[in-house]
Structure 1
């Protein structure tokens, strides 16, 4: 399908310049009920999308584009286990991990839900034993600290969730994360731990990820002479992987190898055994609440009409801005300290999924397929980059995320926090025009000349779009729903823009080149390198070996 030939696509192209010329103030002035009509109240949160540069005509065309590109059929295929990850010949069944499938699905003769529940049962048993002190190191002392060794989806999701739910943590066992192959991170974590009471969770889908396996081998050396190598691996290591045979070959006890499957993408895997650190940090029951919250969003995405479907509306707005309006970036702005890792998590989830230029037909996409995702905590961002959001020539749509109920008992803080969240989205929407600025300056007693000189610098054009997501309370269930909201948004974007969202071939190229370069860094023997890379390796070797600098080229 050439989607650019669809009438709905072409109509949206013609509407985009018209909408760029309009102002959000005008849209609100023309519809006093806009805030009600362009918002959804779901069980866990309010989704307000009224501050977007859209009107009813644009929405009708966006929804038609979703139908024209087969979204409803693709949604059915997602939940039925069809191999929608076609470049790898796999289904995409992360909703199955949280009980989000409407009907039983079997793969290779095995009921998927039975596989999932069996593994969750093993996870629950291990976590309970760990919390009860029954899991010990070689010397018999109980395990007090677990270090998760993983990168990408094996790290970002669990770390983000544990940080977000810090108010719900169990104190039984401490969880730490090491993702970087830079040894400084691992050394810093290990310096605070006791070899006798530390357990390492090696989390890798393939169990060949270079960064993770390097850290695992270094962790094994850190345990040193505590016990024979085979015993250390049996008592101080567990594995989470889709390649259990490789974990066992590494030396990890088969009873401590927790499995997930190749139909689970790494960036969508926190619901699987990859969530072991979450279950350890929060307790298994709260981990299950997280899964239940995500399953509730699965139902909403599956059953709600497109025009009342939060993930669909979020996705279509993203398509509208990035592909039609020419706004290439999108900001994630949590007004909730506990969500400080959410922008990084969503950056990977969306950009690794839809950061592609080849359509499902194998042809070059002649249009933008997804925005650059970035952001940070809203209050900190206000004192860092909001100047850009308010007055830069570039328009950056944003998601503001907060909660009604604070995760603390300090008086007065939460009202200030939410006042800032609401005010910033309002300021981005309305802006301040020249006449308002001049009136304000005149009220302060400035002269006519001073006003004329200063006014241009204080004008805010406004009409900067945003969504607001206001959780009732940040807890395991609402966080699960929030994460699944963005997962289904990403899926919808990919379907509409004809992108395969669930492969990641762009990640593989750099891995292969790094593997080839590593021996040359170690030996200094350069083979078939471009001039820049050869220069970098030469400098590395000279500085490491204390050699003199070569003569500067004339």
Structure 2
């Protein structure tokens, strides 16, 4: 895109982050922002303030305000499919018709959740895949510990081992199935549903279906069908009836609080000037890292066990949304789009992958996510050590260790000193949550959604389609049907060896 040409040119200059702190006295103020119980510090990224100003100008050139207004008004923003993206309506932000439909559906979700909580149900097996599983799994893992409702088991993989483990943990008589599929034709989901139903000796009429195709769910025989709009993408769907498992485990109020917090982040995104807007600033840093500096990875490390599924959730949100190679008009893009999102949980990751982050040859921004207030009642030293490690890792990435300092620690052994030398000047950011509850988690997820959207606008791509997901499905169905599509020799041999 033309508005990114200056960004690519600026990326040719090396950036010394440590020198930026010395030369930019307002750096911390301009590269930090707070909203809705979240605080983000982007100042340790290799983003000079003059480049930030160029990126803010690019927002205007790319008509970010216009795209933002259309998104939040429920207008068409998914151009390849000719429809709106109405996930914000599920939390009360959108046009009046979409919001009214979503609010009516929310009442049905609350009613079903209360029924299951009152009926002596001990376990719920949620069957879905992609956004139909990643979102509910994140919510349940982050908040479910304190819930008093049925235990939630999420099954997504077609590998029978996943379903076997869930079934083994449940009693047939007190277990219910929730089947989530936008089309209600997803092969993995429907296969798992049929097998689970047979093993539990259950009736289809006892199953709850959550889908954008209620007609198909009714034909299948589901006793309870909770619809959501076709214009709500799978990876954006947890605000809809797809959030039912949270309401089952923690009560409908938890889901209401989650939605309300997301709506508050919507308001921040809509009303706050771009230069102080939390999702906008984070997205500009993402575009600069990938497009301006050629960094093709972004590590996300959650220093809270309750957020251990956050990197997996973000992988779909970011890479399925912005992992595209063409612009809205089908023309090839001039530079990189989404980085490869990966990550793990602190402090476990420090003893596994941080060696590469500190001294490896693959450099990319690292994002630390931490929660200031612990939820457990164990000795305070646990949380103090956790936060100390989180903050120290970012400091170490920036500071590094010179060869001279390493030599002094190595008794003059130069080879050992080189092994102990750290280049430093490695970019990182920190995202702090005041606490982890439905409110802050709702704001956090909405923050990442809007961050992804802003990056897409600057890059000129559509973040709401996913055509790249389809080809593999088509070929898998052909293999299972015994069709010969002229597969390459390697694939043909593997198929023969497996006896498919």
Aligned partners of 2:252 and 2:282: how far apart in 1?
Answer: 31
Q: Which runs of 5+ in 2 are unaligned?
A: none
Aligned counterpart, 2:124? 146
Aligned counterpart, 1:436? 405
The structural deviation recorded for 1:331 is 0.5
Aligned partners of 1:86 and 1:14: how far apart in 2?
Answer: 30
Aligned partners of 2:422 and 2:486: how far apart in 1?
Answer: 53
Aligned counterpart, 1:233? 204
**Alignment partner of 1:121 is 2:107:** yes
The structural deviation recorded for 1:436 is 2.6
Aligned partners of 2:279 and 2:126: how far apart in 1?
Answer: 31
Where do residues 416-495 of structure 1 align in structure 2 (5 Å cutoff)?
416-441=385-410, 446=411, 448=412, 450=413, 452-495=414-457
**Alignment partner of 1:130 is 2:101:** no
Residue from 59, 63, 75 that aligns with 1:70? 63
Aligned counterpart, 1:279? 247
Aligned partners of 2:329 and 2:61: how far apart in 1?
Answer: 16
SS at the partner of 2:362?
coil
CA contact (8 A) 1:40 1:310 kept: yes
Aligned partners of 1:431 and 1:239: how far apart in 2?
Answer: 53
- Alpha-carbon RMSD across the aligned residues, in angstroms, is 1.5
Aligned partners of 1:480 and 1:159: how far apart in 2?
Answer: 14
The structural deviation recorded for 1:435 is 2.7
The structural deviation recorded for 1:527 is 6.2
The structural deviation recorded for 1:31 is 3.8
The structural deviation recorded for 1:25 is 1.5
CA contact (8 A) 1:24 1:430 kept: no
Q: Which runs of 5+ in 1 are unaligned?
A: 106-110, 134-141, 227-231, 545-554
CA contact (8 A) 1:166 1:338 kept: no
The structural deviation recorded for 1:126 is 1.2
Aligned counterpart, 1:551? none
Aligned counterpart, 2:38? 45
The structural deviation recorded for 1:77 is 0.6
Q: TM-score, normalised by structure 2?
A: 0.97
Aligned partners of 2:156 and 2:310: how far apart in 1?
Answer: 17
**Alignment partner of 1:186 is 2:148:** no
Q: Which has the larger radius of gyration?
A: 1
The structural deviation recorded for 1:51 is 0.5
**Alignment partner of 1:532 is 2:490:** yes
Q: Deviations over 1:131-183 (max 9, x none)?
A: 122xxxxxxxx32211101000000001011111134322x311111101111
The structural deviation recorded for 1:336 is 0.3
Where do residues 133-532 of structure 1 align in structure 2 (5 Å cutoff)?
133=119, 142-170=120-148, 172-224=149-201, 232-235=203-206, 237-253=207-223, 256-411=224-379, 412-441=381-410, 446=411, 448=412, 450=413, 452-520=414-482, 528-532=486-490
Aligned partners of 1:296 and 1:241: how far apart in 2?
Answer: 26
Question: Cα gap change, 1:167/1:200 in structure 2, threshold over 3 Å: closer, same or farther?
Answer: closer
CA contact (8 A) 1:265 1:502 kept: yes
SS at the partner of 1:159?
helix
CA contact (8 A) 1:332 1:373 kept: yes
The structural deviation recorded for 1:34 is 3.0
CA contact (8 A) 2:8 2:291 kept: no
Q: Deviations over 1:85-120 (max 9, x none)?
A: 01111101111101133xx34xxxxx1111111111
SS at the partner of 2:300?
strand
CA contact (8 A) 1:329 1:373 kept: yes
* Count of residue correspondences: 499
Q: TM-score, normalised by structure 1?
A: 0.88
Q: Deviations over 1:465-501 (max 9, x none)?
A: 1111111101110000011110001101111001111
Aligned partners of 1:36 and 1:526: how far apart in 2?
Answer: 61
SS at the partner of 1:84?
strand
The structural deviation recorded for 1:396 is 1.4
The structural deviation recorded for 1:513 is 0.8
Aligned partners of 2:9 and 2:117: how far apart in 1?
Answer: 60
Aligned partners of 2:308 and 2:237: how far apart in 1?
Answer: 20
CA contact (8 A) 2:37 2:433 kept: yes
CA contact (8 A) 2:34 2:278 kept: no
The structural deviation recorded for 1:328 is 0.4
Question: Cα gap change, 1:396/1:527 in structure 2, threshold over 3 Å: closer, same or farther?
Answer: closer
The structural deviation recorded for 1:454 is 2.1
